[in-house]
Amino acid sequence: MSAAWQLPALATKSSVLDGRAEVVSYLRDPSVFFVRVLVPGKRSYRTRRIDGARTLDEAVGAALDVFMEMGALAAAKPPRRGTRPGTRVARSGSSISKHLSEHFVEQEKKCQAGVIKVSTLKNKKETLFQHLVAYLKYADISKPSQVKVGAFDRYQVWRIEQNEAKGLSHPSNLTLKKEATIIAGFIGYLARNRLLDPHEAANKQDIPPKIRLSDTDFDSNPPIRDLDEWKVILAEVRRWVKESASHPRPRNHFYRRMFWTLLLVLKQTGMRPDEARRLRWKDIEVEDIGRFSKSQWEKDMGEMQLQGVHPDVDLDQEDRELIGRVSRFVTHIRILHSKTKSTREVTSNSAEALARWKHWQSEFLLLMKHKAHSNSASFSYEINENDLVFALPEANGVETTSYNTFNINWRKIIERCGARLKGPLMSDHRYTIYSLRSTRAQELMDMGVDVYLAATQLGHTVAMLEKVYARLPQRRRANKEAAHIDFGKRSRFDEMVSLEFV
């Protein structure tokens, strides 16, 4: 190409409007910015100056108005998106349901690759094909070109009306907020594939439903009112477990024992239920941080005196240090699969509950082996450290339990408690299995635990902890200062122990 046909040298260039135009400046005067659009079928551009823009950011912000003034919207066709295999020029007149299915196929591939969880994919499927499809039909939107700012303004009201018509409770604002996020993902897909009007694509963040959250929206998982309320729930759980002791299928009783242990651990650690479902035995460590107890020392000395044992003569130094020592087991749990994708370690007093559960697992395996032997079948599986903690042993491995099953059993327990429960102190919502997490948060606050440590234990940022959990009832802290428990003189050594030792 001769020099006569060369374009002016560029100083800056920035693609705008999803590739439909560019904001440029030239070396001859870099302080002046232009919008330029490739003329379809020609090796030339249409250009217009952006008046008043002093920086590239200001020029990009004003590009849409200049673009519209140029009349490029009617004249220019969307350029092809490269020459990669499978690329295409989208047809804005095609059915929106077709693109909805294509978008979901992308989400399925992400799930298969481990980018999103199965539960996330399930939520997206429900929102897109149950709620969004029905809303699009209600709003008479059948093509992507009809998706505009304001198209979803009635979504929240429509969802409430739909539930009322079906005799269901209103969806919470948190639920609607999650649905709006999923819908925003689909709108982003339409924009990336050049299926939206250019003006709407430039304002795509304003298209999805706008759901405003208030402080009360974070009260949907209220903490258990007090210790007496928790005792009522635990008593009902124990009755529920005892009822299954004579069930013809041992698996039924075993499952209920597992659920009982799960509830204890959730309350003691503040873990999310789904985090507990992913917990493995290898992620649990138990430490004995025993303390010296004067009453235990007197008891030990009395027993040795009856047996004729003289500590200074018959015991070595290490055994003498154990006189009066009371074991206290602390559990350190590594959370490797969290909602926030970050790992953390939670410290709690869950050792006894987990040790008992592991013992019940061993008993169940022995029973299953005995039954298999009686029926001339094979059952040789042994629990190992890589197994999930809250899972049911099978002949060739362990079987996980769905989160929904946990929710169903929790609601069953709460319904059985009935009027014996007073209900949450500062919320109209019912207790949920997530209430055990809120209960742990309140316990940490009542104990005066440093807010950074509490946030670390719960897997939250300090800001989120203060925003959500600072609204929990403060009655106990208001009535008295945080209690300081003196465990006595600490022994000279702590030690890591196994759950079997516990």
CATH code for the structural domain at 96-213: 1.10.150
Residues 6+ apart with CB under 8 A from 419: none
Measured CA distances, 326 to 289, 294, 320, 444 (Å): 9, 10, 13, 25
Please say whether the beta carbons of 367 and 379 come within 8 A.
no
By C-alpha distance, which of 26, 67, 64 is closest to 46? 67
Q: How large is the average pLDDT for residues 155-183?
A: 90
Instruction: Give the pLDDT of residue 310.
Output: 78
Q: What average pLDDT score do residues 368-389 get?
A: 78
Rounded-to-integer distance, Cα 92 and Cα 85, Å = 21
Work out the burial of residue 381: count CB atoms within 10 Å of its CB; fewer than 13 is exposed, 13-18 middle, 19 or more buried.
Answer: middle
Closest listed residue to residue 215, CA positions, set 474, 476, 478, 466: 466
At residue 69, the 3 state secondary structure works out as helix
Lowest mean pLDDT among 123-137, 163-177, 384-398: 384-398
Query: Looking at residue 60, what is its pLDDT?
Result: 86
Reading the block at residue 215, the tokens are: 């402080």
- Report the 3 state secondary structure along 192-253: HCCCCCHHHHHCHHHCCCCCCCCHHHHHCCCCCCCHHHHHHHHHHHHHHHHHCCCCCCHHHH
DSSP 330: E
**Mean pLDDT of the region 352-367:** 90
Contact 247, 253 (CB under 8 A): yes
Q: Please give the structure tokens belonging to residue 312.
A: 């200074």
Max intra-chain CA distance, the chain: 113
Phi-psi region of 276 (alpha: psi -120 to 50; beta: other; left: phi over 0): alpha
Q: Model pTM greater than 0.85? A: no
Q: What is the pLDDT of residues 73-131, one digit of tens each?
A: 444 444 443 334 443 444 546 899 999 999 999 999 998 988 888 888 999 999 999 99
Residue with tokens 């319904």: 415
Per-residue burial over 285-321, b = 16 or more CB atoms within 10 Å of its CB, e = otherwise: bbbbebbbbeebeeebeeeeeeeeeeeeeeeeeeeee
Say what the pLDDT of residue 372 is: 72
Decide the pairing of beta strands 291-292 and 29-38: unpaired
Query: For residue range 409-450, what is the model confidence (pLDDT) as tens digits?
Result: 999 999 999 999 998 887 778 899 999 998 998 888 888 888
Query: Rounded to an integer, what distance in angstroms lies between the CA atom of residue 301 and that of residue 321?
Result: 12
Helices and strands (H and E) in the chain: how many: 20, 12
pLDDT of residue 477: 52
Secondary structure of residue 281 in the 3-state scheme: helix
Q: Angle 224-214-434 (CA atoms, 0-180°, nearest 5)?
A: 30
Better pLDDT: 18 or 275: 275
**Which DSSP helix (H) or strand (E) runs through 495?**
strand 495-497
Q: Which residues contact 396 (CB under 8 A, 6 or more apart)?
A: 381
Please determine, for residue 44, whether its predicted confidence score (pLDDT) is greater than 70.
yes
Q: Give the pLDDT of residue 89.
A: 40
- Answer yes or no: same fold for 96-213 and 227-290+327-496: no
Flag whether pLDDT at 287 surpasses 50. yes
Q: What would the pLDDT profile of 224-236 be if each residue is shown by its tens digit?
A: 988 999 999 999 9
**Is pLDDT above 50 for 243?**
yes
Mean pLDDT of the chain: 82
CATH class of 227-290+327-496: mainly alpha
Q: Where in the chain are the domains? A: 3-75, 96-213, 227-290+327-496
Percent of the chain at pLDDT exceeding 90:
37
Q: Report the 10 Å Cβ neighbour count for 402.
A: 11
User: Residue 23 pLDDT > 80, yes or no?
Assistant: yes
